[in-house]
Amino acid sequence: MPADVSGRSGRNKDGYLGQTIQVERELTRLKNQSIHLGWRTESLPTGHDDSLMFMHRSAVSQAAPSILITAGIHGDEPATTVSLCQLILEDALPRNITYAVFPCLNPRGMRISRRETPEGVDLNRDFLKVETKEVRTELKKLREFESFEVAILLHEDWEANGFYLYELTQPNKPPRFGRSVLDAVSKVCPIEKNALVEGHEADRGLIHPAYHQEQRQDWPEAFYMMHNKTDHSLTLEAPSDFEMQVRIKALMRAVLTTADLVSGKEISIVGTDS
């Protein structure tokens, strides 16, 4: 059955005006409580009198697939960071996968609930020129990793009427996971029904753009990953005009479903509260 949740709150006007978080508290708790779950945490200096948290957990098998997960690149998308923290602290992610995780790529923006950095720069438009310290720091760390089975990039959309996602694959390759992910998410959150989303054709929440044909100079993170680190990327978009818990559940469900698909687990789309 589709998700039985309240619709849009109507709070968002010309931007995100919903619940915020204390990002330092979330990340400190994550660091302190994830150690016994096998996670290694690093603080990567950015040069802003600040740092980015990076987390890594290796599977036992060296042949295990690896997944990159990032969140919080936009400071007005707090459910992305919270959902990723919960997935880690609940030990919900399959252990037969190696993970590289950035739980909050824009902590300075998150502190002031602003999409951009305090300087007004959208980090998710800097992955070709790489001019910001945050993006440089992320990519420097990722040079330690050859490739990932999939990159999962967590986002929210303040205007959306439901959850949707961008699935990027190599040219002429059809979507692999998107429909299964959306089917799973639909049990906890409505799916975007519009046929045109952010200028892209959408099929019941699934956008499969021909990214390789775009000549834009303001690369988002997904473009960089597809050109350099993976042949499969999912950009998850939760509707941030819905209540925080709905968005958290939706993002958690999407990440878990993707991880299960990577690990070869049979997917069930029976609704649960998790």
pLDDT at 273: 42
Residue ranges covered by each domain of the chain: 23-263
Contact status, residue 204 vs residue 182, Cβ threshold 8 Å:
yes
Lowest mean pLDDT among 7-11, 31-35, 142-146, 164-168: 7-11
Residue 64 has pLDDT above 70, yes or no: yes
What mean pLDDT, rounded, does the chain reach?
94
Residue 197 has pLDDT above 60, yes or no: yes
Contact status, residue 187 vs residue 270, Cβ threshold 8 Å:
yes
pTM of the prediction?
0.95
pLDDT at 1: 54
pLDDT band, very low/low/confident/very high, at 4 (cuts 50, 70, 90):
low
End-to-end CA distance of the chain: 16
> Which CATH number is associated with domain 23-263?
3.40.630.10
pLDDT band, very low/low/confident/very high, at 212 (cuts 50, 70, 90):
confident
Please compute the mean of the pLDDT values over residues 245-257 and round it to a whole number: 98
pLDDT band, very low/low/confident/very high, at 5 (cuts 50, 70, 90):
confident
pLDDT at 270: 43
Q: What are the tens digits of pLDDT across the range 99-113?
A: 999 999 999 999 999
pLDDT at 147: 98
pLDDT at 266: 66
Please compute the mean of the pLDDT values over residues 198-207 and round it to a whole number: 96
pLDDT at 164: 99
pLDDT at 264: 87
Contact status, residue 152 vs residue 237, Cβ threshold 8 Å:
no
